[in-house]
Copies of this chain bind each other. A is one copy, B any other.
Amino acid sequence: MNGADRLCDTLLANGVDVCFANPGTSEMHFVAALDRRPRMRCVLGLFEGVVTAAADGYARMAGTPAATLLHTGPGLANGLANLHNARRARTPMVNVVGDHAGYHLPYDAPLTSDIDSLARPMSHWLRRCTGPDDVGPAAAAAIVAARSHPGVATLVLPADAAWGDAGGPADIAPAQIPAPRAVPEERVAAAAEAIRRAGPRAGLLLRHEGLRADGLEVAGRIAAATGARLFAPVQIPRVEAGLGRVPVTKIPYAIDLALKCLAEVDVLVLVGAPEPVAFFAYPGKPSRLLPEGAPALLLAEPGEDITGALAALADRLGAKAPPEVARPAPLEGAPSGDLTDAALSRSIAMLMPEGAIVVDEGLTTARSAFDLLKGAPPHDYLMLTGGAIGMGPGAAAGAALGAPGRKVVALQADGSGLYTVQGLWTQAREKLDVVTIVFSNRAYAILQREMRNVGVTEFGENAKRMMQIDDPAVDWVSLANGFGVEGAAVETAEGFHAVLDYALSRDRQGPFLIEAVMA
């Protein structure tokens, strides 16, 4: 058994049975090993950014890590932006990065680069296999790292470690995954005391288990008992939302709105989330979002028992009364007229089936969606988490694979979607039930706003050339068809409603794309 076989078997023994891949020459032994193991589902991405986004979307839904297979430094580099998002989401994932044989590195062949330096900023854990007999232990350690909530584990696999004899037994025992660490009682006590004192001027900032239905239920009881308010960060890895679930207030992206959102908060208890800070710095505006003097109090961080800490907090506060859940008035009457953000979001909220998964990379164009969908049937809502645009098409594919049988609705800003548009092909190849809605405003609208924020209100030729993508306009239906995906373009709210209804209810399996040409 060579190192590559050993790596595959270690992954499979630990329940990692999906591998998102874009392989290259130095990974041929690993590909051969995968080929000998049909239990591993290999999913090809035409670009590495699709591969890493897919692994992220997959694990957010499946709860278990996928593997990725990337080719040397440049292949890793192509996947880094979405590893950045995964790292910020704390998504478990095992990246296998092929490298030259160790003895070949000193020759500085054309594809040689410092993989470790590239991988470190976007990995929670990094290790280079020292030889074929190190592959098994290193792979097990990578899985432990991925699953014990650091998150992104990157394993560099030199070609000679893959092709050399790894020895060892054929049976591989699954690695022991440590349980989440218990949260010290003092933190629970301090949080309870702060919430009691501040009442409705206290906030809980929820993330990870805190945003799953069970966690939300407990947080909702705390809110009901104390008046504390429930917040979610500007970018959410995953929240269980919709009718019957405890609603949360998402902190807005725009700095002034974010400051306003938290202006009445005297103390913020952090439940799996870091303290909220400004997405960017602006001259004369603060980096912290909480009012001056308002502390952020850590209850639990990733790797700790967030669920247990939340339950202990509720107990200590005597929060037993049932929480308030989302019960907005039903949306009636399909929207008509211009295709605005609000009209699009309204149709989506009306038509989305129960159990759908929303993958939101809508940015400026899907602002209404999160709140309107509180009135939609129960669903999961996943967002871009690190601000590195270009997650959508791959993450939607991964989410569909991570939760088979559920419909994925991808809210996709056009500028961002073009970064990794190749992800549509993976959706077609795997016949995934993804309905992508492209919010086509033919501009980097977020930048146009930010330009106004720095005081530029009239755009000259160069500014227009960098912020408008309307010349030529991208024809999304052509792109979708080119990648084997059915599609339609619409220009009215009525048209959108009808096409979305069709796309969500048709019998045929496979992806569909709607280009919503916005007013």
Q: Once bound together, how far apart are the Cα atoms of A108 and B278, in whole Å? A: 10
| Inter-chain contact B26/A466, CB cutoff 8 Å | no
| Inter-chain contact A484/B479, CB cutoff 8 Å | no
| Inter-chain contact B462/A34, CB cutoff 8 Å | yes
| Inter-chain contact B462/A38, CB cutoff 8 Å | yes
| Inter-chain contact B386/A47, CB cutoff 8 Å | no
Q: Once bound together, how far apart are the Cα atoms of A477 and B100, in whole Å? A: 36
Task: Evaluate whether A280 and B25 lie within 8 angstroms (CB atoms) in the complex, with A103-B287, A451-B31 already known.
Answer: yes
Partner of A108, one of B277, B387, B425, B478: B277
Q: Once bound together, how far apart are the Cα atoms of A111 and B43, in whole Å? A: 28
Within 8 A of B (CB), among A162-208: 163
With an 8 A cutoff between CB atoms, is A110 at the interface?
Answer: yes
Task: Evaluate whether A74 and B386 lie within 8 angstroms (CB atoms) in the complex, with A451-B31, A478-B482 already known.
Answer: yes
Residues of B within 8 A of A31 (CB): 447, 451, 462-463, 466-467
Q: Once bound together, how far apart are the Cα atoms of A25 and B419, in whole Å? A: 16
| Inter-chain contact B280/A42, CB cutoff 8 Å | no
* Min C-beta distance of A410 to chain B, whole Å: 18
With an 8 A cutoff between CB atoms, is A454 at the interface?
Answer: yes
| Inter-chain contact B81/A163, CB cutoff 8 Å | no
Residues of B within 8 A of A38 (CB): 460-462
Contact with B along A21-55 (1 / 0, CB 8 A): 10111101101101111101011101101000000
With an 8 A cutoff between CB atoms, is A456 at the interface?
Answer: yes
Q: Once bound together, how far apart are the Cα atoms of A46 and B420, in whole Å? A: 10
Sample (16) of A-B pairs whose CB atoms are under 8 Å apart: A25-B447, A31-B447, A31-B466, A35-B463, A44-B469, A46-B419, A77-B118, A77-B388, A101-B281, A103-B287, A107-B287, A111-B280, A113-B121, A118-B118, A474-B482, A478-B481
| Inter-chain contact A287/B472, CB cutoff 8 Å | no
* Min C-beta distance of A117 to chain B, whole Å: 5
| Inter-chain contact B32/A454, CB cutoff 8 Å | yes
Contact with B along A279-303 (1 / 0, CB 8 A): 1110100011000000000000000
Q: Once bound together, how far apart are the Cα atoms of A78 and B419, in whole Å? A: 9
With an 8 A cutoff between CB atoms, is A329 at the interface?
Answer: no
* Min C-beta distance of A387 to chain B, whole Å: 4
Residues of B within 8 A of A346 (CB): none
Within 8 A of B (CB), among A49-104: 49, 73-75, 77-78, 80-81, 84, 88, 100-101, 103-104
Q: Once bound together, how far apart are the Cα atoms of A121 and B73, in whole Å? A: 9
Q: Once bound together, how far apart are the Cα atoms of A339 and B104, in whole Å? A: 38
| Inter-chain contact B122/A460, CB cutoff 8 Å | no
Task: Evaluate whether A81 and B78 lie within 8 angstroms (CB atoms) in the complex, with A274-B108, A279-B111, A281-B160 already known.
Answer: yes
Q: Once bound together, how far apart are the Cα atoms of A467 and B23, in whole Å? A: 8
Q: Once bound together, how far apart are the Cα atoms of A469 and B428, in whole Å? A: 11
Q: Once bound together, how far apart are the Cα atoms of A181 and B484, in whole Å? A: 55
Task: Evaluate whether A484 and B472 lie within 8 angstroms (CB atoms) in the complex, with A81-B77, A113-B84, A281-B104 already known.
Answer: yes
Within 8 A of B (CB), among A434-490: 444, 446-447, 450-451, 453-456, 459-463, 465-467, 469, 471-479, 481-484
